Amino acid sequence: MWAYNNTESVDYILNRLRKEYPTEDLAISSDNGENFSDIANKYQAAIYIHGETSHGPSHNSVEAKRYGWTKNEAYIWLNRLYQSCKTMNSTFVMLMEEDVLVKERFFFKGVDLLMIPNFKNPICQAGMDWVKSRGGRIDYPYYSAGGGTIINRQVFINAYEKHIDSFIENYEYIYQKSMQDGINGWGWNDSIVAVLMYAENPSISTELPILETGNENDLAPIIHKFKKYYRKNNGQ
């Protein structure tokens, strides 16, 4: 669970999650926002991380100097995910955000990377060239929303340990090329998780049982964009 400042939403989401998954490992990372240590204790999180920010400039802000994280912000986020995965014992890890609601226990194909299909989110050629240089998978040059994505824990650990240095070294070059190509998707958790894992040549599925409607009454086990308990002053 990647949390920032929507405490009420996180509490509601984790309460629903624990009804379906009462004992599974839970990691909470606070993105330099509020202190979620009480919630971490309440829902028996295996690890709670509250550290330096990885919350980059909003792409909705006219004051933003860039779209997406810097390489240092990206590294912080990926390292937190790595620390969480090293703490856990599960085969799979679901990336949850403050607007990802799991309503019921669900089943999925046992692949290394499970995402929502989204051909509107291409990865720039420079990013895929980097994947190719690492001997990775280049036949699906797209990324999906990070919230709800499911990863094979050990495959991510392997990808991080083998490729993170090269990934960070080439990060800003890929960012610049992405901007030149008019592709604004490089630099958030959505794209960087996909590209880093592609370097490890994972099996991929886009059959994630999720709806991006925000309505918890819709017929799907997972609802993304669930903002019922978001703070009104967030403007979201």
Token pair of 158 as six digits: 């392997």
Give me the amino acid identity at 108.
F
Per-residue exposure over 22-40, b if at least 16 CB sit within 10 Å of its own CB, e if not: eeebbbbbbbeeeebeebb
Could you tell me which residue, 61 or 44, shows the higher pLDDT? 44
pLDDT score for 65: 65
DSSP 48-112: EEE-S------TT-TT-SSSS--HHHHHHHHHHHHHHHHH---SEEE--BTTEEE-S-------S
Query: Would strands 150-152 and 92-94 be described as parallel, antiparallel, or unpaired?
Result: antiparallel
Lowest-confidence segment of 25-29, 54-58, 134-138 by average pLDDT: 54-58
DSSP 203-228: -EE----EE-S--TTSSSSEEES--T
pLDDT score for 134: 98
Could you tell me which residue, 236 or 199, shows the higher pLDDT? 199
pLDDT score for 236: 43
How many whole angstroms separate alpha carbon 143 and alpha carbon 156? Answer: 16
pLDDT score for 109: 85
pLDDT band at 40 (very low <50, low <70, confident <90, very high): very high
Token pair of 48 as six digits: 């709670």
Q: Is the pLDDT of residue 70 over 70?
A: yes
pLDDT score for 185: 74
pLDDT band at 235 (very low <50, low <70, confident <90, very high): very low
Q: Is the pLDDT of residue 15 over 60?
A: yes
pTM of the model: 0.92
- Listed by start position, the domains of the chain span 2-234
Kindly report the three-state secondary structure assignment for every residue of 158-199. Answer: HHHHHHHHHHHHHHHHHHHHHHHCCCCCCCCHHHHHHHHHHC
Q: How high does pLDDT run on average in the chain? A: 90
Closest CA to 119 of 103, 97, 142, 137: 142
Fold of 2-234: Spore Coat Polysaccharide Biosynthesis Protein SpsA; Chain A (3.90.550)
Q: What is the pLDDT of residues 81-109, one digit of tens each?
A: 999 999 999 999 999 999 999 999 999 98
How confident is the model over 121-147, as a mean pLDDT?
95
